[in-house]
Amino acid sequence: MFTNEIVIDMGYSQTVIAMRGKGVIFKEPSVVAIAHQGRKVKFYASGLEAKRYMRTRDKDPLAVLVHPVRGGVIEDYDAAILMLKDFLRRALPKRGLFSPRPEVIATIACGTSVVERKNYENLLAEVGLKSPILMETPIAVSSTLSSDYNLIATFGASISDVAIVGPTGIITGCSVTMCGNAVDEKICAYVAENYRLGISMAKAEGLRVKIGSFSAEQMMSSDIQGKNLVDERPYQVEITSEEIAPMMTSVLSSFATVIESVSMMCPEKYIPDVYNAGITFCGGFAAGDGVAEFLYNRLKIRVLIPSNPDETIAIGALKFFDDRDRMYKML
Ligand SMILES: Nc1ncnc2c1ncn2[C@@H]1O[C@H](COP(=O)(O)OP(=O)(O)OP(=O)(O)O)[C@@H](O)[C@H]1O
Ligand SMILES: [Mg+2]
């Protein structure tokens, strides 16, 4: 059965759409293939289809692949509208003339400014989603947990949040840019400096997901193709997990420092509860090998990673529809 209550978690890397009673109904890369034609923007495809389109031989030579959202901010408004419209068309059942309007929760980073909130609301209105509720990601995650006070960290592709959440909302928290992209930038710089090889951020991400690990036992290697930065010729080199581990640990270690700072701002009376509950760590990056052990060794507090951590935010936000009164108070 389809309901009209949905959640949208639109990040840099992927967009997750979930529906009450069904769970995740759509998950695709947050990209759109478009071409700028004077003042007009021509749409070709969104998500996986956009990636496929960009690899076709007869694609429009002016077509570019755009990530409309980065760091919790809508960077390309027109592209975001085209992307979200197409995602909704593909994800939701066809609506009749008298179908009720979808009720929408859109998740946002906890440091989102008032201007950015307004921007996001306008964007949702333009794709036909009026009066959305914006929910900070740590609140969404907290609703999946049984304890009253929780330390929540979400680590995404372009923005990460750390917050202590209680029954009436966020007690203290912030958004930071230590994230998957920060590691990928370091990988690009490393291979350029050490091998004179130019690779894209997407290639660096692929390499990190394939062989990146926080555990010393998991040693792997992979070939990576790119352009020689000296003579522009294509060539490839072999990179090992050992080489990229320092870049991963440096970013996650800085993030651990942020977790420490946020916990230091926790009012004393909540400390025992928060400590007993441990850290809930989610976002796509949490699926990486050895993340929980690394954070535990660094912070000496239990680290819980839910299954499918890239879906936790959307699944958590869905709980709003089951417990509106309690969750309204948290926003
Ligand atoms: N199995 C995996 N191992 C390691 N990293 C992964 C894995 N799966 C996803 N990631 C990383 O998680 C990040 C994407 O996480 P997520 O889907 O939470 O981000 P997002 O919501 O799209 O981005 P934003 O930070 O803008 O909210 C990417 O950097 C990706 O490389
Ligand atoms: Mg996200």
Q: Which ligand is nearest to the CA of 140?
A: 2
Q: Is 102 in the pocket of ligand 1 (CB under 6 A)?
A: no
Asked whether the beta carbons of 75 and 119 are under 8 A apart, the reply is no
Q: Which ligand is nearest to the CA of 72?
A: 1
At 98 the three-state DSSP class reads: coil
Asked whether the beta carbons of 313 and 6 are under 8 A apart, the reply is no
DSSP secondary structure letter of residue 95: P
CA 81/CA 280 separation, integer angstroms:
32
User: What's the pLDDT at 289?
Assistant: 93
CA 82/CA 93 separation, integer angstroms:
18
Do domains 5-28+71-137 and 146-305 share one topology? The answer is yes
At 4 the three-state DSSP class reads: coil
Q: Is 41 in the pocket of ligand 1 (CB under 6 A)?
A: no
User: What's the pLDDT at 2?
Assistant: 64
CA 12/CA 238 separation, integer angstroms:
28
Asked whether the beta carbons of 130 and 145 are under 8 A apart, the reply is no
One digit per residue, the tens of pLDDT, for the chain of length 331 reads 667 999 999 999 999 999 999 999 999 999 999 999 888 999 999 999 999 999 999 999 999 999 999 999 999 999 999 999 999 999 998 888 788 888 999 999 999 999 999 999 999 999 999 899 999 999 999 999 999 999 999 999 999 999 999 999 999 999 999 999 999 999 999 999 999 999 999 999 999 999 999 987 778 999 999 999 999 999 999 999 999 999 999 999 999 999 999 999 999 999 999 999 999 999 999 999 999 999 999 999 999 999 999 999 999 999 999 999 999 999 9
Token pair 């420092």 in the structure block, residue: 257
Token pair 């062989």 in the structure block, residue: 211
Nearest to 324 by CA among 3, 4, 1, 5: 5
**Which alpha helices (H) appear in 167-280, and where do they start and end?**
180-195, 201-211, 241-264, 271-277
Q: Is 179 in the pocket of ligand 1 (CB under 6 A)?
A: yes
Asked whether the beta carbons of 63 and 55 are under 8 A apart, the reply is no
Domain ranges of the chain: 5-28+71-137, 146-305
Q: Is 68 in the pocket of ligand 1 (CB under 6 A)?
A: no
CA 123/CA 112 separation, integer angstroms:
15
Nearest to 13 by CA among 55, 61, 60, 48: 48
CA 18/CA 6 separation, integer angstroms:
6
- Going by their DSSP bridges, the two strands 103-108 and 133-136 should be labelled as parallel
The ligand 1 atom at the shortest distance from the C-alpha of residue 212 is 4
Q: Which ligand is nearest to the CA of 176?
A: 1
Say which amino acid occupies 34. Answer: I
Burial of 273 (0-12, 13-18, 19+ CB in 10 A): middle
β-strand partners of 170: 165
β-strand partners of 152: 163, 280
Question: Other C-beta atoms within 10 Å of 295: how many?
Answer: 25
Q: What residues does the ion ligand 2 have nearby, CB within 5 Å? A: 11, 156
At the topology level, CATH places domain 146-305 in Nucleotidyltransferase; domain 5 (3.30.420)
At 330 the three-state DSSP class reads: coil
Q: What is the pTM of this model?
A: 0.96
Distance 14 CA to ligand 1 centre (A): 8
Q: Is 13 in the pocket of ligand 1 (CB under 6 A)?
A: yes
Assigned token pair, 213: 């690990």
User: What's the pLDDT at 99?
Assistant: 81
User: What's the pLDDT at 1?
Assistant: 60
User: What's the pLDDT at 15?
Assistant: 98
Architecture of 5-28+71-137 per CATH? 2-Layer Sandwich (3.30)
The ligand 1 atom at the shortest distance from the C-alpha of residue 13 is 22
Distance of CA 234 to the CA centre of its chain: 31
Q: Is 112 in the pocket of ligand 1 (CB under 6 A)?
A: no
Distance 67 CA to ligand 1 centre (A): 14
